[in-house]
Chain A
Amino acid sequence: EIVLTQSPATLSLSPGERATLSCRASQSVSSYFAWYQQKPGQAPRLLIYDASNRATGIPARFSGSGSGTDFTLTISSLEPGDFAVYYCQQRADWPLTFGGGTRLEIK
């Protein structure tokens, strides 16, 4: 199975700052890659699909990049509602797998 490793595990930043979250795959997944946001007590929400495409209704401050094995989610200017856990996911091979998550917390 394809293992996804997210870093850092926890990221402490202030509102208005730029956040950069990383995910590395154990083998190439091409651009078959997505990012999700999960707030406490809520279901995950799709942010980015196919590595760089924003899902419906997702603000432009969220952007995704990368291909192959290295991917990045960037939040250009953090807003209070952005502090949450972020997961990456690959769909290049079965089973579909998720990364372990990055917790984005308020500094």
Chain B
Amino acid sequence: QVHLVESGGGVVQSGRSLRLSCVVSGFTFSSYGMHWVRQAPGKGLEWVAVISDDGNNKHYLDSVRGRFTISRDNSKNTLYLQMNSLRGEDTAVYYCAKGPLGGHLSYWGQGTLVTVSS
């Protein structure tokens, strides 16, 4: 079975940093692109970033480009999202999801909540 487990969320002050992790199992991690998608409380889904299977290609939502960095460690089956200069509007549940670089998202983790306080 495919499993994706996010961690690293929490309460952080505006302007500070946080790193999210997503550990996966049940598929060959190094063969698939991976995404981060977020959902603000009571709101819809917003795609954040994607990384290719080999880590060489990345795309970002404009509002996070330059502040967030997506990366992966294929030897650890782990996806990361380094979030710097956090803002109140970054408050959301962050999901990692399996999917090709420009594709649909076939499996999702349960999410980790990030709350940015002022």
Find the residue from A36, A42, A50, A56 having the highest chain B CB count within 10 A: A36
The answer to whether the Cβ of B11 comes within 8 Å of any Cβ in the partner chain is no
- 0/1 interface trace, chain A 10-36, chain B, CB 8 Å (1 if under): 000000000000000000000010101
Is there contact, CB below 8 Å, between B45 and A44?
yes
The answer to whether the Cβ of B40 comes within 8 Å of any Cβ in the partner chain is no
Q: A91-B103, A91-B104, A95-B62 are in contact. Are A43 and B109 (CB under 8 A)?
A: yes
Q: A95-B62, A96-B50 are in contact. Are A46 and B109 (CB under 8 A)?
A: no
Q: How far is the CB of B10 from chain A (nearest CB, A)?
A: 19
Interface on chain A toward B: helix, strand, loop, or mixed SS? loop
Docked pose: A101 CA to B102 CA in angstroms: 21
Please pick, from B45, B60, B61, B109, the residue contacting A87 in the complex, using a CB distance under 8 A. B45
Which A residues are CB-close (under 8 A) to B111? 43
Docked pose: A38 CA to B104 CA in angstroms: 15
Which A residues are CB-close (under 8 A) to B44? 87, 98-101
Q: Which residue of B lies closest to A97 (CB)?
A: B47
Which B residues are CB-close (under 8 A) to A38? 45
- 0/1 interface trace, chain B 27-64, chain A, CB 8 Å (1 if under): 00000000101000000111100100000000111100
Docked pose: A20 CA to B111 CA in angstroms: 29
The answer to whether the Cβ of B95 comes within 8 Å of any Cβ in the partner chain is yes
Is there contact, CB below 8 Å, between A44 and B95?
yes
Docked pose: A32 CA to B104 CA in angstroms: 8
Docked pose: A42 CA to B37 CA in angstroms: 14
Is there contact, CB below 8 Å, between A46 and B45?
no
A43-B95, A44-B108, A87-B45 known; 18 new pairs, CB 8 Å cut-off, are A32-B102, A34-B104, A43-B108, A43-B111, A44-B37, A44-B95, A46-B104, A46-B105, A46-B107, A49-B104, A50-B104, A87-B44, A89-B45, A89-B105, A94-B102, A95-B47, A95-B62, A98-B47
